[in-house]
Chain A
Amino acid sequence: MQDDQQDSPQLPAIDQGHANDESLIRTHARIRRTPVAASPVTFFTSLALIVVFVFAWFYVRRYVGDMDSQGVLSSREELAAMQAYINRPKEDPGPVVVDGAALYAQQCVACHQATGQGLAGAFPPLVGSEWVTGDPNLPIKVLLSGLSGEIVVKGNTYNGAMPAFGSVWNDAEIAAVVNYIRTSWGNEASEVAPEEVAAIRADTGSRSPWTAAELSEYFE
């Protein structure tokens, strides 16, 4: 190193080539052709290959998420925790409770109003109505199949069409709405069970809306 510095105190302004292009290609081609039994480079290359494969093996087992295209979870612990959560012991949720008030608010308020008073001359009231608070089978039948023609409610005559809800609501929902209108706004009638609705539904089947004449038995 010191000798070099004495020879050339300054950096040369030109890097002279130390190998011509043809010999560069030919010599390296010869190195590739010459078989070598073993060299440090071969040894460490093999070592690196083994390291990479061992790493890849364990990493795939740990982090590849079972090749699941849906899951963004990566490690086996996370996947197992997710599965355990899905399979967790579930409590019995109990019977389904249908909210009659909500169903009434969806389907009935437009005509019978939120107060249950109806609209005078157009839609009959539900408050204190003998149709509602009398025999529980009557409102069930009306709800299931509808009602049309002239009817008399609390001494006033109405001529409208009550739509049928038998195909829209199931037994539990019909029972919930019936219970709601029979016990709200000061009405204090008895409640009905979904089984009663089911029995009436089976009995009447599919039919056109009732008329007041067909239901006159309930007012005798």
Chain B
Amino acid sequence: MRFICNLCSSLFPSLEGGGSQRERELGIDASTRFATLGTIKASVFWLLVASLLGLISSIKLHSPSYLAEFSCLSYGKVYPAFWNVLVYGWLFNAGLACVCWISARLAGRPIGNSYLLTIAGGAWNFAVIVGLVGILVGDQRPFRLLEFPSYAAPLLFVSFLGMGIWILLAFKARAYRSTFVSQWYVLAAVFSFVWIYMIAQVMIFLVPAQGVFQSVVASWFFGNLSGLVIAPLAFATLYYLIPKTLGQHIVGYRQSGIAFWTWLAASSCSGLAALVNGPFPAWVASVGVIASFALFLPVSIFGMQFVSSLLSSFSKIWDSLSARFVAYSVVAFLVASLLIVFGSLRGPQETLQFTQFENGLRFLFLAGFGGMAFMGGSYFILPRLLNKELPSSGLIDVQFWIQGLGIFVIAASLISAGSAHGALLNGSEVDTVQALASVQPYFFIATLGFVFFLSGSLMYAVSFFWMLLSSRSEKEKSAELLKSAPELEYTPS
């Protein structure tokens, strides 16, 4: 790897930008502008698609005849299409845009090679389009978040390799000897995705493992995709945005190393908890439950770090557009993680397994934690990339509340639908159809939540394209639009 890095950096030298801090930042932003903007553009597009698909699949839950005349929009196709677009379309693009820009900034010098990022990002989005079409025409495969057909998967993998190599080059080219915790999580996410996607493709599809072991690999992959790929991307964004937007160092930063390694260790097995009561050796599921419970340790460290840092500059949160997204993301992360810990135990699983609880919880974790962190990140990044002001802070204010409300309503209604449904099914005297009918109100509320979510996404798209297309004002022509940032203050107690 070192030789490859050396070769690349010799072929494509990145020139030092001298001068002041601010000039150096301008140079870094310019070097990643095209690629990062393209990735954010794609993420906005996929967010709209995912919101629409989510709304359709949510309506179908309570009104099955809706759009029933289109065979490509049956529930069995819209539901996996929604989740795959949400993760591979929206979250990967948004998360990679944030961490690529953050990697470049933390490297402290222009990275170059941005064509690699551009090509890989374009190939990634082409693969997502192919995969989405493949699902809708009926070529999907039957494992959660591996539904993309076999002709889309290799391109997805190779294009991720391209982006991953760019991130490794950015890390290699860094100007500072010390590293920041964001960089650890970025590297962890890159290596994790390459590893888990390769293993899942090989062991489930290329050289299929025998019998039930495929299900073990599939749930391992599903747990790792959210825990070891999306979550680290979001952690990297949060760790970076909190000091940047609030001028507050991370409280309890010394514990970051423990949190990092315990999160990786526990999160890598926690997906196996979904196998409880299945036809597997009991210890496999038990390892998953123990790993899920062990998440309690890193989650409590993250909770203390993020919440204390936010609370010590609480008044500044509402004066910053990005920081409020960060605050929402932190709260969503804590709630979702504690629900993951609780929901993996054997007792609650008796009720919650195979219900909508799982969907609500995953949506809260992915959209509430990951998605909101990346949105906050993009609102922080966009003015720096374009040297423009955000077009309307009032619109973004409304978008924050409506998107936040949407995520909360969807998660809360699906989680309570799951627990109510599970409790009814466990009471054997209830008729199955009656049990289904009695949870319908929850699904109506979830649809309402998706309407909120979709309108928030539309506002996000409007402010993004408004900013992109508006003409540059006099103020925005000067490099003084963004002030040179002060030193981060820290007084050892």
Q: Which residues of A contact B (CB under 8 A)?
A: 1, 4, 8, 10-32, 34, 36, 39-42, 44-45, 48-49, 51-52, 55-56, 59-60, 63-65, 67-74
Contacts and interface: CB of A to CB of B under 8 A. Distances in A.
Contacts of B481: 14
B315 interface: yes
A38 to B, nearest CB: 11
Contacts of B181: 28
B172 to A, nearest CB: 16
A52 B243 contact: no
A55 B282 contact: no
Contacts of A34: 254, 492
Contacts of A8: 319
B329 interface: no
A45 B282 contact: no
A14 B383 contact: yes
Most chain B Cβ neighbours within 10 Å, of A17, A34, A42, A56: A17
Nearest to A36: B254
A41 B281 contact: no
Contacts of B304: 40-41, 44-45
A26 B493 CA distance: 17
A11 B293 contact: no
B393 A67 contact: no
Contacts of A13: 383, 389-393
A23 B13 CA distance: 26
B282 A21 contact: no
A1 B322 CA distance: 18
Nearest to A65: B282
B487 interface: yes
A76 to B, nearest CB: 10
B281 A65 contact: yes
Contacts of A24: 106, 180, 240, 243-244, 488
A30 B491 CA distance: 11
A11 B106 contact: no
Interface size on B, as a range, is 35 or more
Contact of B320 (A1, A12, A21, A52): A12
Interface of B: 21, 25, 105-106, 108, 176, 178-181, 240, 243-258, 276, 278-283, 285-286, 289-290, 293-294, 296-297, 300-301, 304-305, 308, 315, 319-323, 346, 379-380, 383, 389-394, 396-397, 481-490, 492-493
B393 A18 contact: no
Contacts of A36: 254, 493
B393 A12 contact: yes
A115 B178 CA distance: 97
Nearest to A11: B393
Secondary structure at the A interface, as helix, strand, loop or mixed, is helix
A11 B323 CA distance: 12
Contact of B293 (A4, A21, A49, A55): A55
Contact of B380 (A15, A29, A40, A41): A15
13 contacts: A13-B391, A14-B389, A14-B481, A19-B247, A20-B21, A27-B488, A27-B489, A41-B252, A42-B255, A60-B290, A64-B283, A65-B281, A74-B282
Nearest to A62: B286
Contacts of A41: 251-252, 254-255, 301, 304-305, 308
Contacts of A45: 255, 258, 297, 300-301, 304
B290 A26 contact: no
Contact of B482 (A10, A17, A65): A17
A69 B108 contact: no
Contacts of B279: 72
B393 A49 contact: no
Nearest to A13: B389
A4 to B, nearest CB: 6
A73 B282 contact: yes
Nearest to B239: A28
A119 to B, nearest CB: 52
Contacts of B391: 13
Nearest to A63: B286
A14 B244 CA distance: 13
A15 B251 contact: no
A187 B176 CA distance: 106
Most chain A Cβ neighbours within 10 Å, of B251, B258, B322, B485: B485
B300 A44 contact: yes
Contact of A32 (B21, B254, B301): B254
A69 B281 CA distance: 5
Contacts of B300: 44-45, 48
Contact of A59 (B293, B301, B319): B293
Most chain A Cβ neighbours within 10 Å, of B179, B256, B282, B294: B282
A72 B286 CA distance: 11
A19 B390 contact: no
A31 B320 contact: no
A59 B394 CA distance: 51
Contacts of B179: 25, 29
B244 A19 contact: yes
Given A30-B490, A63-B346, A74 B251 contact: no
A10 B485 contact: no
Nearest to B294: A52
B176 A26 contact: yes
Nearest to A57: B290
Given A10-B394, A27-B487, A41-B304, 5 more contacts: A17-B244, A25-B180, A32-B256, A40-B304, A41-B252
